[in-house]
Amino acid sequence: MFKIHSVSTRGSHWLAGFTFFGLCLWLASAVRAGDPTLGLGESIVVVGGTPVDAFPLVAGGRAATLWYDESDFTGVIRAVGDLQADVERVTGRKPAAVATRPADAPLVIVGTLGKNALVDSLVTAGKIPGDELVGKWESFVVATVASPMPGVDRALVVAGSDKRGTIYGIYELSRQIGVSPWYWWADAPVPHRDEIHLRAGTFTSGEPKVKYRGIFINDEAPALRRWAEERFGGFNQKLYAHVFELILRCRANYLWPAMWLPVAFNDDDPGNPRLADEYGVVMSTSHHEPMMRAHHEWERYGAGPWNYEANGAVLREFWRGGFERVRDFESVVTVGMRGDGDEAMSEQTAVPLLKRIIADQREIIADVTGRPASETPQVWALYKEVQDYYDKGMRVDDDILVLFSDDNWGNIRFLPRPGDRPHPGGYGMYYHVDYVGAPVSYRWLNVSQIERIWEQMTLTYRAGVDRLWIVNVGDIKPMELPMSFFLDLAWNPDAIGVADLPTYYVHWASQQFGAAHAVEIGEMLALYTKYNARRTPEMLTAGTFSVLHYREADRVVAEYRTLAERARALFAKLPESHHAAYQQLVLFPIEACANVTEMYVAAGKNDTHALRGTAAANFHADRVRELFERDAELTRRFHADVADGKWNHMMSQTHLGYTYWNHPPLNRAPPVSYVQLGEKAELGFFVEHGVRPRWGWLDVEADWAFAHTLPVFDPLNDQDYTIEVFNRGREPLGYELAPRQDWIRLSKTSGLIQYDEQVHVTIDWAKAPVGRSEGEVVITGAGSEYVVKVPIRNERPARIAGFVANNGVVSIEAAEYDGATPAGDVRWINVPNLGRTGSAVTITPADAARRKPGEGAPSLEYTFTLFDAAPVSVDTYVSPTLNFRAGDGLCFAIAIDDEPPQIVNINEGEELPDWKYAAWWLKAVGDHIKIKRSKHRTLEPGPHTLKVWMVDSGVVLQKFVVDAGGLLPTYLGPPASVRHLDSTGN
């Protein structure tokens, strides 16, 4: 259903050139194509001229009547009421909704196969396609039908194969006329139309490819809980009515409800499960809550230990009571058992005990229902240590759905292998975009790239895991974007390909805000999630981004500042009707994350300058406090001002000052240092990439107290390096810089500073001497004089090609290859925007079999040039993918020039993460990257070829760094090298 068409691009600037005009052409082409299956982004609403055969949903001041059968499902009739309200939201005209035959036209007939006699007759007569409905799961048809019944010339029919199929068809009309699924949960504005005309024809949904698709509301205190208590009085029917509607509008059908203490869905409000069944939402309970019992209910009604061997009879009665409450409602019953409080049941993997527990639970199910247990849907969740049971060979009855899990950080832990015995009950996947746990919880704002979700869940789907997909969305807000994407992907993973990912942002932005600014908003959403995915805000520290090397910290801050400025500029252009949604979905996340990032960078600069005893240390300490206070102010505005306070408390999750995995009780600013300064001005300086000055409280006049030499300049890289001049006293410092050679250019030659200032040094290559030379810059101020040396290398290798080394380092983004060689149907694909700095490269199909490197295996080639002979190492940056195939690890091969390929195992030395949380895993998920180093022989100056072969599918390549002796430590690695496209250097 979700067929998307997009512009295929390479590199990180994937939205460059994608215009609103292009978006309109894309939408128009989808309409003209006449595909009977509605695609994501395809519109059946007529814009512009009205064809004579268009159906008038609202025209001439009149809305079509909505006609349903009173014998239809209650949830269908309720959804008709939502459509009635949605049409009024858009046009101001409220259509009538009736269960008796209306006397006039136009008419919208809504009904479920087998529950609406007229729909049944239209299928029998062939006026709507029965093969799209009969025996289908959650399918619908939207069709313009001639003479649907005597006296009616034409009607629009929305017909469903079952309850949810009809409901999805109803909400498809709402979506088509401009009502976003997030109209309530994110205050997405509803566009006004005087009239609505729909294209004539028959449009179908097809069956969803994943049977159960849903969300887990989790980790819901303090934000969601405080908001729910204030607005609804708790997690009751009033709240869940909005949750159920959102789930269905997103074409999902499944829910694990909120369960943190002291919440219990079925017990807190007995109307909750009845309402879920009425709406059409399939209820279940989380991975450690068996038999439809909330975890907290054991504290309320249990007696004795949560231990089956010691207290089995009490537990069985407890579970029986939980299941009896919901036996008449559509549910998927979680079976099995974990320890109390989401912990392991025992230190050892007790397979016989767990098998006995499940057998006893199934006996309860059969006894309560009076039917074989196999007729009640059940799920066994392999979460954390429970996977050990599966790994040791434990299997469950054929009808039980087996639910695998990611590692809580979006990396799939295990998938069935092609040779595994089929499991009739099917497989599912539990995925996270929110988590409480090691290494540090991430709950505040979205840190999940949709590209990573796509890549990992595509692996999942290709492995045959298609019975249940559920995503932990925390408080629902602010995970609107990843939740939407996950559920859209779950409907039809085949319909969202790698080339469609950039357009998804645009489509989603258009759905929330209209097409006028959708491209710009889409790009901002892509960038802020990319920046957040480098390291979660909760894990940032003063030392995350380097303030010393490659200007990393400054680049990261500048990127986020630029994005925040764009977000604020667009906010000023938007109509007031769009403000609340824009603040929630775009502006606040960007501003808040930009602010937190800059705060930690300021703390890093404070530490750096405090070690040097500079006045700038105190400036950055004050800056940390300013940004810390701004964080609180941004939160206050969100709570008080957005949508007139509708979302008060929703951003109350603490996110600053983590000291271990769980959230701190309150936000705490990073520690800073203040330094005592002398009264008089005192000159200091720091050269970019220079050796760290050995200061302490030394005599700063000593010549060896500073690094005095800038890195080497060359014309191919045409570098820009800085001399940072700083003051070590209270009085303002006047300084001067004077180059001793006319080929040295300075961005300024004098200044008066209270703290510090950067002077940029570049070279005028037309004046520079040929070969290797060394110039000098004299720095004077406050009675001191220093000389900084400026080494240059005004020469070129005999041959130049590809990426050029810069002071012994070549940095290459994986998507910038010179050649990509496929092998049969196995080929490389670029995943735009995926990763920390550029775009990523991986293999399709995602389940391609292992290949031996060399001829016949897909390969990539990258050309680079070295200035000097040197032994070389290559750091390959790969996504932190786990060994999900449970073999000897996922591998790729690498070589330079004519070397034999080296096999690199990205999972070498790893074990799947469990409650012990191995150090390698903590680092990989914290950094959102693995860096695998390969060592190579000494290379001569000139061009070389880096070659990479596929060994296993599932490896995601992000970046290569060739270290010829000059690599400096950073978090993201050095920025991309200058690239020369031919041997002449042009």
Which residues make Cβ contacts (< 8 Å) with residue 910, sequence separation at least 6? 882, 883, 889, 918, 920, 921
When computed from its CA atoms, the radius of gyration of the chain, rounded to whole angstroms, is: 31
396, 483, 894 from 651: Cα distances, Å: 42, 18, 46
Question: In this structure, are residues 954 and 831 in contact, taking their beta carbons and an 8 Å threshold?
Answer: no
Segments in 765-866 forming alpha helices (H): none
Question: What pLDDT is attached to residue 984?
Answer: 43
Name the amino acid, one letter, at 779: I
Question: In this structure, are residues 94 and 63 in contact, taking their beta carbons and an 8 Å threshold?
Answer: yes
pLDDT at position 38 over 70: no
Question: What pLDDT is attached to residue 260?
Answer: 87
Determine the Cα angle at 536 with ends 922 and 974, to 5°: 85
Q: What whole-number distance in Å separates Cα of residue 238 and Cα of residue 13? A: 44
Q: What whole-number distance in Å separates Cα of residue 905 and Cα of residue 26? A: 42
pLDDT at position 417 over 90: no
- In the three-class reduction of DSSP (H, G, I as helix; E, B as strand; rest coil), residue 947 is classed as strand
pLDDT at position 754 over 60: yes
Tokens of 204: 């179908």
Kindly tell me the sign of the dihedral angle through the C-alpha atoms of 476, 479, 485, 489.
negative
Q: What whole-number distance in Å separates Cα of residue 620 and Cα of residue 627? A: 10
Segments in 34-124 forming alpha helices (H): 74-91, 117-124
The residue whose two tokens read 């009879």 is 313
pLDDT tens string 575-614: 999 999 999 999 999 999 999 999 999 999 999 999 989 9
**476 backbone φψ class: left, alpha, beta (φ>0; ψ -120 to 50):** left
- In the three-class reduction of DSSP (H, G, I as helix; E, B as strand; rest coil), residue 903 is classed as strand
Distance of CA 283 to the CA centre of its chain: 26
- In the three-class reduction of DSSP (H, G, I as helix; E, B as strand; rest coil), residue 898 is classed as coil
Question: What pLDDT is attached to residue 345?
Answer: 61
The model carries a pTM of 0.95
Q: What whole-number distance in Å separates Cα of residue 395 and Cα of residue 40? A: 38
Question: In this structure, are residues 804 and 717 in contact, taking their beta carbons and an 8 Å threshold?
Answer: yes
Bridge partners for 146 per DSSP: 154
Task: Compute the half-sphere exposure of residue 469: CA atoms within 13 Å on the CB side of its CA.
Answer: 30
Segments in 585-644 forming alpha helices (H): 588-612, 615-640
pLDDT at position 878 over 60: yes
Q: How many CB atoms lie within 10 A of CB 181?
A: 25
Q: What whole-number distance in Å separates Cα of residue 915 and Cα of residue 661? A: 12
Of 725, 724, 766, 726, which is closest to residue 744 (Cα–Cα)? Answer: 766
pLDDT tens string 529-588: 999 999 999 999 999 999 999 999 999 999 999 999 999 999 999 999 999 999 999 999
Determine the Cα angle at 407 with ends 406 and 413, to 5°: 60
The mean of the pLDDT values for the chain is 92
Q: Mean pLDDT, to the nearest integer, of 70-81?
A: 98
Of 686, 845, 670, which is closest to residue 755 (Cα–Cα)? Answer: 686
Question: In this structure, are residues 257 and 295 in contact, taking their beta carbons and an 8 Å threshold?
Answer: no
Q: What whole-number distance in Å separates Cα of residue 683 and Cα of residue 786? A: 9
Question: What pLDDT is attached to residue 926?
Answer: 96
Q: What whole-number distance in Å separates Cα of residue 674 and Cα of residue 672? A: 7
Share of the chain above pLDDT 70, in %: 92
Angle, to 10 degrees, between the axis of helix 223-232 and the axis of helix 237-249? 120
pLDDT at position 30 over 60: no
Q: What whole-number distance in Å separates Cα of residue 581 and Cα of residue 595? A: 20
The residue whose two tokens read 């619908």 is 140
Q: Mean pLDDT, to the nearest integer, of 729-757?
A: 98
Distance of CA 581 to the CA centre of its chain: 19
Segments in 535-587 forming alpha helices (H): 552-573, 579-582
Of 560, 564, 584, which is closest to residue 475 (Cα–Cα)? Answer: 584
The residue whose two tokens read 């996504």 is 879
Kindly tell me the sign of the dihedral angle through the C-alpha atoms of 215, 219, 223, 226.
positive
Q: What whole-number distance in Å separates Cα of residue 481 and Cα of residue 714? A: 45
Question: In this structure, are residues 442 and 435 in contact, taking their beta carbons and an 8 Å threshold?
Answer: yes
pLDDT tens string 155-201: 999 999 999 999 999 999 999 999 999 999 999 999 999 999 999 99
pLDDT at position 791 over 60: yes
Q: What whole-number distance in Å separates Cα of residue 597 and Cα of residue 540? A: 7
Question: What pLDDT is attached to residue 347?
Answer: 56
Which residues make Cβ contacts (< 8 Å) with residue 310, sequence separation at least 6? 304
Name the amino acid, one letter, at 3: K
The residue whose two tokens read 């039809």 is 492
Tokens of 967: 């690599």
Question: What pLDDT is attached to residue 470?
Answer: 98
| β strands within 782-923, DSSP E | 784-794, 802-804, 809-813, 819-821, 827-831, 840-844, 859-866, 870-878, 891-896, 902-905
Q: What whole-number distance in Å separates Cα of residue 108 and Cα of residue 96? A: 10
Share of the chain above pLDDT 90, in %: 85
Of 384, 385, 377, which is closest to residue 401 (Cα–Cα)? Answer: 377
Which residues make Cβ contacts (< 8 Å) with residue 518, sequence separation at least 6? 20, 23, 506, 507, 509, 510
Q: Mean pLDDT, to the nearest integer, of 298-312?
A: 94
pLDDT tens string 268-281: 999 999 999 999 99
554, 705, 974 from 968: Cα distances, Å: 16, 21, 8
Concatenating the DSSP letter of every residue in 328-382 gives TS-B-EEES--BTTTB-S-SS--HHHHHHHHHHHHHHHHHHHTS-GGGS-EEEE-
* Element housing 97 (H / E): strand 97-98
Question: In this structure, are residues 64 and 83 in contact, taking their beta carbons and an 8 Å threshold?
Answer: no
Q: What whole-number distance in Å separates Cα of residue 503 and Cα of residue 151? A: 45
Question: In this structure, are residues 512 and 188 in contact, taking their beta carbons and an 8 Å threshold?
Answer: yes
Tokens of 514: 């209209």
pLDDT at position 19 over 50: no
Which residues make Cβ contacts (< 8 Å) with residue 121, sequence separation at least 6? 149
Confidence grade of residue 24 (pLDDT, cut at 50, 70, 90)? very low
Question: What pLDDT is attached to residue 344?
Answer: 58
